[in-house]
Amino acid sequence: MAKKQLNIGLIGYGFMGRAHSNAYNKVNKFFDLEYEPVLEAACARKKDNLKAFADRWGWKSVETDWRELVERDDIDAIDIVSPNVTHHDIAIAAAEAGKMVLCEKPLAMNGREGLEMTQAIEKAGVPNMVWFNYRRVPAIALARQLIDEGRVGRVFHYRAKYLQDWTISPDLPQGGPTLWRLDADVAGSGVTGDLLAHSIDTAIWLIGSVDKVSAMTETFIKERPLQDKPEVRKPVKIDDACAFLARFKNGALATFESTRYARGRKNQNTFEVNGELGAVYFDLEDAHQLQYYDHRDDSHVHGWRTVLVTDSGHPYMSNWWVPGCVIGYEHTFINALADFLKSLETGEPVRPNFRDALETQFVCDAVLKSAKTESWESVGR
């Protein structure tokens, strides 16, 4: 049966451009779907680099001005993987041009931008998704399933960490093509938008809305050279680390922490939920596992069980290999894309959409504000 073709225009070609291109290439090989993405056009400012990228990944054409891409009639969906500072204008223009919009996280530089983007998207009524890819880790999806099945019950506690250690060296530059995440003008914030946004999205998905927060941030290395001009050193304006206390609307308590200075932790994105009936624990460094504690077990065999999330009965896994064979980082994007394409078949909107990501953005804003005011701050709407 012939597939329905969905012509994609990708904006940006860095690390995420690679991850998304891979997803477009692979999704139909592993998932049975009506729709098939076509790698129609890739867009970026530096033509040479772009051309090499497009050739490698099979993008059929290139554009150096995203505004032209957005206007092209042959494009059905715009996928935004360019730096955060560009999301706002592109998303709104794409929505106004009637394109479907897929946007990398974090949604925007701040809640104000995010709100405008969300309003534009909703006004246009176009299918949309924000790539909080970790919702598509099978073990995290299983955590959600266990909660939905009532296995956790009333939630007392949530605790999330997202720890890395790659910016400890003071010699690491900031800004430029691969280190724009360290430049507040391009990234909006540091670990809050880059890492905590993931933690917050997961938390909201699993537990519900956050009511208020008390946060602290720190910038450990105060000055760094520029990647583009190593002889120039500039103050670092991003948050190197951020921790916050939170209260969910349902009464659960939470702690969140993120840093790029946690020596020894490479990509330790963890969460734990403690409920009346059970508990779950996840660590992205062991992404193929979910820890689950069931209080209703016979008491002498109470224990945390390590669920190896590779069975065909586990979320997404029937599309991949056989029990005991793990999938990796890149598959979260493929799973997400499959969900997006499936949503076009079923008409059931995919999540998280712009509205969901906006909620996460508002929490980030409250966190950053609280760190400045040194007060508890309510999450805006």
- Give the footprint of a copy of itself on residues 36-95 (CB under 8 A): 56-57
Strands 128-131 and 100-104: parallel
Dihedral sign, Cα of residue 14, residue 131, residue 86, residue 42: positive
CB 82 within 8 Å of CB 110: no
Question: Contact region for a copy of itself (CB under 8 A) — 69-77, 241-249, 338-346, 360-368?
Answer: 241-249
Of 232 and 277, CB closest to a copy of itself: 277
d(CA 26, CA 57) in angstroms, rounded, equals 11
- Judged by CB, which is closer to a copy of itself: 89, or 330? 330
For tokens 């049975």, name the residue: 32
77-80/100-104 β-pairing: parallel
Shortest Å distance, C-beta 307 to a copy of itself: 4
Torsion of CA 116, 374, 275, 271, to 10 degrees: 70
Residue 220 is a binding residue for a copy of itself (CB under 8 A): yes
Q: Taking the complex as a whole, how short is the minimal distance between the CB of residue 256 and a copy of itself, in angstroms?
A: 9
| 47 vs 56 by CB, closer to a copy of itself | 56
Residue by residue, DSSP assigns 93-159 as HHHHTT-EEEEESS--SSHHHHHHHHHHHHHHT--EEEE-GGGGSHHHHHHHHHHHTTSS-SEEEEE
Nearer to a copy of itself, 229 or 249 (CB): 249
How far apart are alpha carbons 357 and 350 in whole angstroms? Answer: 12
By CB under 8 A, the residues from 103 to 142 that bind a copy of itself are 142
Containing H/E element for 49? helix 47-57
Place of tokens 């129609």: 40
User: Which of 40, 113, 239, 257 is close enough to bind a copy of itself by CB under 8 A?
Assistant: 257
State whether the Cα torsion 143-146-151-154 is positive or negative: positive
* Smallest separation (angstroms) from a copy of itself to the CB of 29: 6
Which span (104-112, 196-204, 215-223, 340-348) binds a copy of itself, by CB under 8 A? 215-223
Cβ at position 219, least distance to a copy of itself in Å: 11
Whether cis (ω within 30° of 0) applies to the bond prior to 37 is no
Contact 341, 179 (CB under 8 A): no
- The footprint of a copy of itself on this chain (CB under 8 A) covers a number of residues equal to 92
The pattern of x and - marking residues 164 through 203 that bind a copy of itself according to CB under 8 A reads: xxx-x-----------------------------------
Residue 127: is the preceding peptide bond cis (ω within 30°)? no
250 interacts with a copy of itself by CB under 8 A: no
Can you tell me which residue has the tokens 């120039």?
Answer: 232
- Of 48, 125, 231, 301, which lies in the binding site for a copy of itself, with binding defined by CB under 8 A? 301
Closest CB to a copy of itself among residues 99, 181: 181
Q: Of these, 65, 74, 218, 228, which contacts a copy of itself (CB under 8 A)?
A: 218
CB of 314 to a copy of itself, least distance (A): 6
In terms of Cα–Cα distance, which of 87, 9, 88 is closest to 50?
A: 9
Of residues 270 through 289, those in contact with a copy of itself by CB under 8 A are 272, 274-279, 284-288
Quick count: other Cβ atoms within 10 Å of Cβ 137? 25
259 binds a copy of itself (CB under 8 A): yes
Which residue number, 110 or 274, has a Cβ lying nearer to a copy of itself?
A: 274
The residue range among 85-93, 225-233, 264-272, 361-369 that interacts with a copy of itself, by the rule CB under 8 A, is 264-272
State in angstroms the smallest separation of the CB of 213 from a copy of itself.
Answer: 10
CB closer to a copy of itself out of 231 and 374: 374
Task: Quickly count: other Cβ atoms within 10 Å of residue 223's Cβ.
Answer: 11
| Residue among 7, 14, 26, 211 that touches a copy of itself (CB under 8 A) | 26
Chain positions 304 to 343 lying near a copy of itself, rule: CB under 8 A, are 304-308, 310-311, 313-314, 320-331
The Cα–Cα gap between 90 and 241 comes to: 29
